A and B are shown apart, each in its own frame.
Chain A
Amino acid sequence: MKETQNKLLSKSKATREDYLGRSICYFCIGLIIALVVCILYFITTRGIATFTQNHVSVWGFLTGQNWNPGGVDSHGKPEVGALPMIVTSFSVTVLAALVATPFALGMAIFMSEIAGSKGTKFLQPVIELLVGIPSVVYGFIGLSVVVPIIRKVFGGTGFGILAGTIVLFVMVLPTITSLSVDSLKAVPMSYRQASLALGANRWQTIYKVILRTAAPGLLTAVIFGMARAFGEALAVQMVIGNAVLMPHGLVSPASTLTSKLTTEVGNTVMGTLPNNALWSLALILLLMSLFFNLVVRFIARKGSIKK
């Protein structure tokens, strides 16, 4: 009697397993969230130390043109002007996205509208391969092919924004392409049929109907590409020249936020101003990455295709 009662009132093995499995899953997702919070917290506290401990003004940091955290300027203040790096980072990002977008759009239109399944079958691996090539290999090719060509054509060292742009263009191309293909494929088939039934030819349909319907998605694709370009470190570092100067042209050596970080963090002592200033650069990177995310979310909310 007692045994039966126990059996009926206690949880079965399956239920206990269920609880265990469920809690493992909750634990895993909790771990990831804790990780993100940790990253945000650590980088932020380190990044703002320049402003709270070393009393550098935020405005001066963002607009100063001289970067020499070890020394002081004529007023006795430390020289930590990050503007050259910020400008360079934005230039390579925007230029790379500008160059890559037409190519990516062409690829995407070709894959979703013109080529049948055969063309897509051939191009899909091409895109995946481009994604798979590691960034140091892009950097190495940039260093041994792109930089010498620029040196020959434009003179100078060959290092600079132009070389960075070319390398980043190839790197963001697959990102923008594959996301654009997705958004073109999400345009309902009935739109195409309606347009063709009205007598529009293929290009008219693509230009007047499909591209417009897919515009928010295409914009998202470009922004994701820009986010990738902005955060790319090693490939850019290898071809940009690493001189912390205001860029004077496309072929003068410069330095991006990421390239400065990769070359300098190991050479500074934790807790000193030169080190804190670098963490502030990392904080800018982090904030920009969050900003790109926010823009994507905003576009997604505004412009999702209504069916």
Chain B
Amino acid sequence: MNPKRVNNIATGVIFALVGIVVAILLFLIGYILFNGVPNISWKFLTTSAQAFSSGGGIRDQLFNSLYLLVLTLILSFPIALGAGIYLAEYAPDNWVTNLIRTTIEVLSSLPSVVVGLFGYLFLVIQLQLSFSILSGAIALTFFNLPLLTRSIEESLNSVSSLQKEAGKSLGLSDWKTITKILLPVALPGILTGVILSAGRVFGEAAALIYTAGQSAPAVNYGNWNFLDPTSFLNPMRPAETLAVHIWKVNTESVTPDAHLISSASSAVLIIVILIFNLGARYLGNHLYKKMTATK
């Protein structure tokens, strides 16, 4: 065969492969949305789940997912920010830093089920936090930290060194340069990273099964005292999230309309994550344009 022919065949194969991948994605999204969206109703979103009869909703699971997400971000963002600043600004170029980077890589490549099991061992049993939102949030923090740290480090590194030198030459201290010059410039990147990680946290289930638990006890949405066991804000109650709920109705529960519930819940999950992804993209671009005055 002459090279020209091979070239054409290879190009054709590559186009076919790309076509198949795009078709898979369209099928996935289409399947979830077409099966799920017609089943989403206001009633579905606002009634609590049923264990043995059909017609249950996802009110508590949806709230738990959002509450857990907020707690996780509150816990993980400051730590990741500090660690990111350390890696981008303070870390000297030597074997210690190398070791630290390796450690973070190890943490990020750990299977989420291992992180969940560690959470179970350490938080639920050792610290006796029991199956609770707090245990879940801390376990998700473990899971979220390495990625968030890396994205913050990258956004800080992408700031032009001229900005840093300008700060230094004005006689500002390191800390002032970082907080007043570098962080504001890196903000769009950091925000994008946080929102993308929020999407991951929102869909995570394996790390939560043995930390936040698999039950969603009835809570009172009018009770704002977060120390009260029936309050919806109480961080010490077990909390099944939306992702765990999908897993549970498909594997262990006897709910008769499991397929309906899981397709609708999957659609809700995907829609929320889509909003996060698009939001991250839009907000990042928008902020970047606004702050750098480019068009």
Contacts and interface: CB of A to CB of B under 8 A. Distances in A.
Interface of A: 14-15, 17-18, 20-22, 24-29, 31-33, 35-36, 38-39, 42-43, 46, 102-103, 105-107, 109-110, 114, 123, 125-126, 128-130, 132-137, 139-141, 143-145, 170, 173, 177, 201-204, 206-207, 224, 227, 230-234, 237-238, 258, 261-263, 265-266, 270, 279, 282, 285-286, 289-290, 292-293, 297
B257 interface: no
Contact of A134 (B20, B89, B175, B243): B243
Nearest to B15: A110
Nearest to B200: A132
B22 interface: yes
**Most chain B beta-carbon neighbours within 10 Å: one of A17, A21, A46, A136:** A136
A136 B246 contact: yes
A221 B88 CA distance: 25
B10 A173 contact: no
Given A39-B107, A39-B115, 13 more contacts: A18-B173, A18-B176, A21-B174, A21-B178, A21-B179, A24-B82, A43-B118, A106-B17, A133-B270, A135-B206, A136-B266, A266-B214, A285-B111
B204 interface: yes
| Residues of B contacting A: mostly | helix
Nearest to B125: A270
Contacts of A230: 111
Q: Which 6 A-B pairs have the closest CB atoms?
A: A231-B111, A134-B203, A28-B82, A106-B17, A21-B175, A233-B113
A39 B114 contact: yes
Contact of A128 (B17, B105, B121, B277): B277
B81 interface: yes
Contacts of A103: 17, 20-21
A204 B178 CA distance: 48
Contacts of A289: 106, 109-111, 114
B86 A28 contact: yes
A103 B17 CA distance: 6
Contact of B118 (A39, A134, A136): A39
B149 interface: yes
Contacts of A140: 246, 250, 262-263, 266
A103 to B, nearest CB: 5
A282 B122 CA distance: 15
Nearest to A138: B28
B79 A28 contact: yes
B120 interface: yes
Identify which of A133, A170, A282 gathers the most chain B CB atoms within 10 Å of its CB.
A133
B204 A134 contact: yes
A32 B107 contact: yes
Given A33-B103, A134-B203, A293-B109, A110 B175 contact: no
A199 B85 CA distance: 49
A36 B117 CA distance: 14
B13 interface: yes
Given A139-B250, A202-B7, A32 B104 contact: yes
